Amino acid sequence: MLLGALIVRGKPLPLLLRCCSCREQASPASAWARAISRSSSAAAMKQGLILGVFTNENEEGPSQFTNAADTFDKHVSGKLRELLAISGPSLKKGKTRIFHGLHQDFSSIVVVGLGKKAAGVNPYENWDEDKENIRAAIAAGCRQIQDLEVPSVEVDPCGDAQAAAEGALLGLFEYDELKQKKKPPVDVQLHGSDGTEAWKKGLIYAKGQNLARYLMEAPANHMTPTRFATIVEEKLKSCSNKVTVHIRNKSWIEAQEMGSFLSVAKGSDEPPVLLEVHYKGSSDANEPPLVFVGKGITFDSGGISIKPSSNMDAMRADMGGAATICSAIITAAELKLPLNMIGLTPLCENMPSGKANKPGDVVKAKNGKTIQVDNTDAEGRLVLADALCYAHSFKPRAIVDAATLTGAMDVALGSGATGVFTNSHQLWNHLYEVSSCTNNRHEGD
């Protein structure tokens, strides 16, 4: 089919469109309609493929393909390896390269650099470099696919399908709920059948982490204590029938004599909430639970001891502890873990007002202890004190408390590690061992 238009002095004149096979004349409108239809069909069929390659030990010479990449290369008669060799130097860790038109099933092929094969656990950083390299590389590849507006992508498991799934979803996350123009969604699928169950597990892990990121990124006027509790309740009830959610209001908190928690909440017009979540995954209903307690300050201005205005907007994420522990319990419920868990999150804002705590005030906690408030920006320990006291009423096997408690931790450790204080060597050993797999470094005392 010949399509065209003649431009004469800026005015388009239609040309007759002739079908080369049947020599019949066709109208310009019908020809353009067929062309657009074919274009739309092609767009609907667009699919991407992400494949991984390792660098050699000496970082020179040709890249080493993963099993999936090697199989694909054989299907295209070695063209992928050939194009990769002539397109530039060997792919470095986390770098990408895009090829088009190699295979009829995939409009775009993104090759990602995985670094050295079998790098193992880094003894200095205490993390599994193989897993982290896969996560980072697949995340970069998925973002490339999204930039190309390809709606679906198959992902090479790269020898660790769980890490690949985590990287795919974590890499595509963006808080865009309030944006008019959003990036196009990308449906991620496993390429092949190697590691199907691990892939599913990785997707659950990544969704849990993305939920925590969503809760922390939302503006404080959209993520109030009440809204936070409602979102968590909806998520939990949709994923398991073994959960019970209690959204404790101000009257309940007062009845529990949680004066320390209430002293922080009273400075804001937003009502406080103590969110109590129970997950009973164990076959033994009486098995002592693992209790998570998370700091839930949905905005921390510092109160009367007000923070500097610079970067104060980041204090919308001062409920990071609450977001983390709630997401962890939701993930445990989706994985159907065989244990009993309880989550407690004291949720409120720390704001200056005529009703707010003042430096020098003395408040009474749930356990009867009195506390002198020297700095109202040390509100985290006030809300956690009552929640931790309440946690002991469940006779737990262990209590894990997560909080963005103090900027001094960032000064001491930077953003690369989480500080841990514990009175249990056994619990610390469990955390330390798991952190090498999840690449969440911990420094303990």
Return d(Cα 409, Cα 428) in angstroms, integer. 18
DSSP letter, residue 272: P
Q: Is 235 a catalytic residue?
A: no
Q: Give the Cα separation of 340 and 102 in Å (integer).
A: 51
SS3 24: coil
Helix axes 320-335, 225-239, angle to 10 degrees: 10
Residue 259 corresponds to which tokens in the numbers above? 């004066």
**Active-site option among 116, 242, 307, 364:** 307
CA proximity to 292, closest of 273, 277, 272? 277
Residues 171, 294: Cα–Cα separation, whole Å: 26
CB burial of 362-374 (b: ≥16 within 10 Å; e: otherwise) equals: ebebbeeeebebe
The active-site residue, picked from 81, 97, 242, 381, is 381
Task: Respond yes or no: is residue 307 known to be catalytic.
Answer: yes
Assess contact for 219 and 185: CB atoms under 8 A. Answer: no
Question: Which of 379, 369, 173 lies closest to 265 in space, CA to CA?
Answer: 379
Give the H/E segment covering residue 291. Answer: strand 290-294
Residues in contact with 209: Cβ distance below 8 Å, sequence separation at least 6, in sequence order: 166, 170, 327
Q: Which residues are catalytic?
A: 307, 381
